[in-house]
Each structure stands twice: as C-alpha cells, then as structure tokens.
Structure 1
Amino acid sequence: MSIFPELLPETTSGHSTAALGGQRFRSIDVCAGAGGLALGLEQAGFDPALLIDIREQPCETLRLNRPSWNVRCLDLLDFDPRDHHGLEDIDLLSAGLPRVQASAASNRSRGSSHELELLMATVKLAQSLRPRALLIDNVAELAVAGAYGGIREQIHDKLAQLGYRYKWFVLNAVDFQVPQDRKHGFLVALQGDLIDGFQVPSPSRQSPPTTGEALLASMASRGWAHAAEWARLADKVAPTVVGGSWERGGADLGPTGSKRAWARIGVDGGTVADEVPGPDFSWDPSLGRSGMMALTTAQVARLQGFPAEWLVAGRKTARYRQVANASPPPLAQAVGEAIVTALAST
C-alpha cells in the first residue's frame, strides 16, 4: 500500500462535497480502477451505490479510501444487476473503460476485442438499469475519429432505442488544473430532453501548474539540493502519462516517444522510483538515464490530479498501473458537475 507520504495535501477528497443546491445523486461505476472517475464524480455530487472492477488491487484501493462504498470485484461481462439489491432509481451509470483500440474499431466483424466487449456491455447495462444519465470515458479518438465511426453508430442505435440523447466530446485534463497534457473522449447520454440542460464543461480560466510546480515539494522532501533547479527546467505541464498493459512489463512512463519527452525535463521515463531523490543524488541529464531521477508512483498520482491522501493498494507496478490508467479526478468532477446541472434542471 502507498500513502504518498512525500506529497503535501494540496487538494482534498472530502466525502460529502455538496452538489448543486445540496442535492446528491446515486450512481454505479464500472471498471472503477483506482477510483479517479468515482472520486471526481463524488466531488460533483454522486454517491455510488455500487462500484465494480475485475482486479483485486483496484478493489482494495477503493475500499481503503472509502470503506463505506459497496465494492465488488468481478468481471463486467459477468455482471447481472438482478443479483444485487439496491440498484433501483440510479441517476448515473459511469464507466472509465479500458482503451478501445483502432484495430478493434476497423474490424468490427470479429467482435473479439475485450475492450470493445466492455464498451458494448456498458451500453447493454444501461438497458437493464435505465439510469437517467450514462457517462463513458475512453480514448479521445473514440469520440471523434472516423475509424471509430462504426462503433459510435452501434452505440447510437442502441441508445436511441432506449430513449437517450447524447453528446460525444473531447476534453484535455490540462484545461482543468491537471498538470498533464492528457486528452479523454467522453460520451454523455441522458434520458429524453435532459440532454438540453447539458453543456460540455468549459476550460478553467486558471493556468495549470507546471510539472516542476506540481512536484517541487515532493522532490525537495528528502533534502535533494537540486530540486528547485530541476523544477525550473520542468517549466511545462507533463507529457501524457501512459499506463501500459496489466499483462506484461514493469512500471515505466511509456513508449520511446514518451521517454524522450520526459528526458527533456530531466526525468528518466524508463522506470518508476521507490522514493524521491535524497540529499546525495547527483543530477546531470547530460549523462543520460544515470544522471536523471525517476518519478515515484505518488508523483505520477499528483500529475493525474489525485489528492495526496488517496491510498493505492498493491506492489509498485500494480500501483503505477492503477494510477496511470485512471481518469484524472478534476476532469471527472467537471463532467460530473455538468451532468448534475442537467439532472437538476427537472
């Protein structure tokens, strides 16, 4: 378990943030992961009646942070809401789904992509639960790219049959105070005319912190003398944090292109550190990886917009996978607040 001790509590995850007019709404969150989507939605005004994920480590993460949440570790493809009590009158079904790849989109006839199966299973679940709203978070391309047009058409047909109207859109987390260039594609569907009250969130008027600003306190927490110097170099937001596969490989910050982007701000993207630099760490990026420091999982969580007190269960690689694949909570909160406005308009 990681408790992120080297990060200061710059944000708060308070359980009971009031929604519009003090009203709270009920939700179900599937493929919940580390809880980024659920946490942001909680801040927006949603209390989950149920959260599910297939992996034990994310389920433990959710339980550690919110012992009162009803967390079930099971495969979405095997989930039957009739086996669970208290799932009536759900306001929102939310899903931060594994990334649907373009290869699955262009070869619909096979229907063998697990990620695509999860996407369609979520839409099917909306048919069973009939929530007032549906939120799906995935790759930006799913919302706009021509290669995914066939999938969007399938979803449109099903939602139209169920009486939902919807919007696809792309948001960048950097526009919502997250110190990272990270685009997400969203589908928001609402029953009937509720969609008329939904407005895609507008970017924050404030600039996000740079990578250096976001991580300076943690970099200096063990006495590293060059922390401020590094922070001045890291004067831009972070590159997109890449989660990688659960099935293979250790924790690192992504493919070759991502590693080059991290190297430009003096960070070794080829691994994830166990702790931040100490007082004797010699930082010299001209030496290559040996002269650069790696980020910790806690620091990656900060770049994802998680509050410092959020716990993450498992060993280092499992913790990193959870954090890196998560929906940034501030981005989820912005979308959640827009949904709350639409739901509260009736």
Structure 2
Amino acid sequence: MSGLTFVDVCSGAGGLALGLEQAGFEPRLLLDDDELAVGTLRANRPGWNVLHTDLMEFDPAEYPVSHDVDLLSAGLPRVKSSASVGRADSRVEERLLEATIFLVHAIRPRAVLIENVPGLAHSAAYQPFRDFARAELAHLGYEFSWFVVNAVDFGVPQNRKQGVLVAIERKWAAAFRPPAPTVPQPTTVGAVLGPSMAARGWRDAACWAAQADRPAPTLVGGSKNRGGADLGPTGAKNTWATMGVNGHTVGDEVPDADFVWDPTLGRDHMVKITPTQAALLQGFPETWEITGRKTARYRQIGHATPPPVGKALGRAVAAALILEPPAPPAG
C-alpha cells in the first residue's frame, strides 16, 4: 500500500476509484449526482465516503475530508469539441471540466488526474480546454502531461482510447511517466465471455468464443435522454456482427441450451451481451454489483473508466509522488 489518498468526482459506477484503490490509494471522498451510481458505489464499498451531489454545487469547505489529499481524480462525462458548442448538453459537460479544475484551487492536491475523450489530449478542437487548465493551474505550481491510453493495452478486452490529463506539483512532476502497457497481446471477447456464455448449457458457446477472437469495440453508455441501450454506433454494431453478436440491443440473460445461433438467419439468431458481461468487458471484477434496471446498469458500465486503466494510471501517479523530491541547490 502506498498510503496515498484521493478524492474522486463524477465517480459513476466506480471504475476509476476501484482502479486507484487497487493501485494503493485510499479514498477520502467520492461524489456523483446519479442516484443509481451512488447506490452502486455504496453497495460495493460500504466503507467508502460517498456523497450524492452535483459537482457544480459541491462546496469542499463543508467536507474537511476533501482537504489534504494526494490526488484529485475525475472520469468526466465526454466533453464535446468546440464544433459541438451548439448542442444542448455540450455546455454541461464543459462546465464539469471547469468545475474540476476550479476544485483544485480549494483542495490543492499534489496531483490531478482527469480522464476523458482521446481528443482532449492532442486535438486542436480541444485546445481551449487545455489552455483553460494551464491558465488555472500553472500558476499554482502544477506541470502537465497530456497523453492517450488504450484500455486494450492493460488487459481490458476492448479497444477504448481515453485522453488523460495528469497535473503534478512541480517538485514531483519530473518523476512522472505515463503508464506502459501491462499485457503482451490483446485479450479477446471470447476468452473473457466464453465461460459466462456457457453458464446455462448453450452448446455453441465454445464455437462462438472461437469466433469472438478479438477485443470489443468501445462500449458506449449513451445518454439518459435517448432510448434503450445498444452496443454503440453503426461501425461498432458491424464489428459485433462479425463476432455473431447483436449489437442493436442488450440482453437480459445469456443463451440457454436451446438457443439456435446462426447469424445468417438475422439478429434474432445472434447472441446478446448482458450488462453483467459488459462489465467484464470493462474489466470490472465479477463481484462488482451494478444497481438499477438493465438499461441504467448498462449506461453506468458504458460510461465507466475500466478499473485496470485506473490502476495503471494510479500506479504511475503513485510512483512519482512517493519519491522524495530533489533538494534545492545549495546557496
């Protein structure tokens, strides 16, 4: 254990917080404005201090545990680029990013970790966000690392790229390195979901697993304002179809012994991924309980940071923070 502490905002289903815990960090406070996500956090970690509140209404002065921490972390809702400013929800997501940066002023952690869309790290469309973060934090003594990670490099059976900001106080910043891949080759959908597909006696489970011989496309949680859950945009659905999976919906349970799997007959003869299986594709442990009905569970899972990614990021931050900073030059 590193003995390091963190505050996590927009915690969702707890993927980032769980990964940080696995990296040796101790949570002081987690918060989210979604009642079901808060229920998920409390169901799995009754000892965690979980607050049901909107980040933009959070006053850290009322919560002493939010001070004197090593890390402020945030797996924020996907921020839209400047090209989508006209969309109704774009400003809400932008304000959450701003609120996280402003929270640094109040908490003054030794490090900040924000995970979001890949473009946030390098794309010109997100330059205003990077300029904002630098303008607010550089004068407080933070130095910045912007980079992209892919969950598949950390044992998650999913191609899922994430843009990451790590800002560390200057005396520790030089020691930080982005995490290196932890697996030599990608984990496949079939390898992870094969056992669960066979759980109710489906005779074609092994054959299906052999066909599902690649990582999944990125799972997308979707918006509360749209209809039922599915496995992503058209390109993702097409990729799922090559694995004999109906990506247009999410299943209630895995196939039984009588299920006829024949993708040539159409979607009704393709398997459906259940929310529990989607959680495995995100790298959650089987014991992690996601609360709510099917669609709400899937959305929590799809929005989550995969815990193995959170663990790798946490270890990278911890490796910098546990080092003694160099002494200033004599004289």
Q: CA separation in 1, counterparts of 2:216 and 2:231?
A: 11
State the secondary structure of the residue aligned to 1:86: helix
Distance 1:170 1:30 in 2: 20
Shift of 1:224: 0.2
Within 5 Å, give how 1:149-160 maps onto structure 2.
Answer: 149-160=127-138
2:143 corresponds to 1:165: yes
SS at match of 1:98: coil
Q: How far 1:106 sits from its partner (Å)?
A: 6.3
Look up the match of 2:54.
Answer: 75
Structure 1 distance, partners of 2:274, 2:206, is 18
Listed one character per residue, the Cα deviations across residues 223-267 of structure 1 (whole Å, up to 9, x for unaligned) are 000001001111111111111112221111112222111111100
The one of 85, 106, 112 aligned to 1:128: 106
Say whether 1:113 aligns with 2:91.
Answer: yes
Partner of 1:54: 33
Q: Any conservation in 1 of the 2:152–2:187 contact (CA below 8 Å)?
A: no
Query: How far has the Cα of 1:111 moved from its partner?
Result: 11
Q: How does 1:192-271 map to 2 (within 5 A)?
A: 192-271=170-249
Of 20, 31, 39, which aligns to 2:10?
31
Q: Secondary structure at the match of 1:340?
A: helix
Flag the 1:195–1:106 CA change in 2: closer, same or farther, 3 A: farther
2:328 paired residue number: none
1 CA distance for matches of 2:198 and 2:93?
40
**Helix, strand or coil for the counterpart of 1:273?**
coil
Q: Say whether 1:94 aligns with 2:73.
A: yes
Q: Secondary structure at the match of 2:65?
A: coil
Partner SS, residue 112 of structure 2: strand
Secondary structure, aligned partner of 1:72: strand
* Alpha-carbon displacement from aligned partner over 1:268-304 (angstroms, at most 9, x marks no partner): 0111111000000000001121110110001111110
Q: What residue identity is the alignment partner of 1:182?
A: R
- The 8 Å contact of residues 180 and 304 in structure 1, kept in 2 or not, is answered as yes
State the SS of the aligned residue for 2:121. helix
Matching of residue 324 in structure 1 with residue 286 in structure 2 = no
Match of residue 122 from structure 2: 144
Structure 1 residues 237 and 111, CA, compared in 2 at 3 Å: closer, same or farther?
closer
Equivalent pair of 2:155/2:183 in contact (CA under 8 Å):
no
User: Quick check: 1:105–1:150 contact (8 Å CA) kept in 2?
Assistant: no
More displaced stretch, 144-153 vs 84-93: 84-93
Q: CA deviation at 1:192?
A: 1.4
Higher relative contact order (CA 8 A, sep 6+): 1
| Residue pair 1:106, 1:147 contacting (<8 A) in 2 also | no
In structure 1, what residue type is equivalent to 2:166?
V
Quote the residue 2:255 is aligned against: 277
State the alpha-carbon separation in 2 of the partners of residues 274 and 112 from structure 1.
32
**What does residue 4 of structure 1 align with?**
none
1:24 CA drift (Å):
1.5
Q: Distance in 2 between matches of 1:300 and 1:112?
A: 26
262-271 or 250-259, which deviates more? 250-259
* Paired position in structure 2 for 1:5: none
Percent same amino acid among aligned pairs?
54
Is the contact made by 2:82 and 2:126 (CA closer than 8 Å) also made in structure 1? no
CA RMSD of aligned residues (A): 1.6
Contiguous gaps of at least 5 residues in structure 1 = 1-17
- After superposition, the Cα gap between the structure-2 partners of 1:326 and 1:111, relative to the gap in structure 1 and judged at 3 Å, is closer
TM-score, scaled to structure 2? 0.95
Q: TM-score, normalized by length of structure 1?
A: 0.91
- Aligned match for 2:157, one of 152, 167, 179: 179
Deviation string for 1:164-219 (max 9, x for gaps)? 11100000000000000000000000111211110011112422321111100000
Partner-residue secondary structure (3-state), 2:310? helix
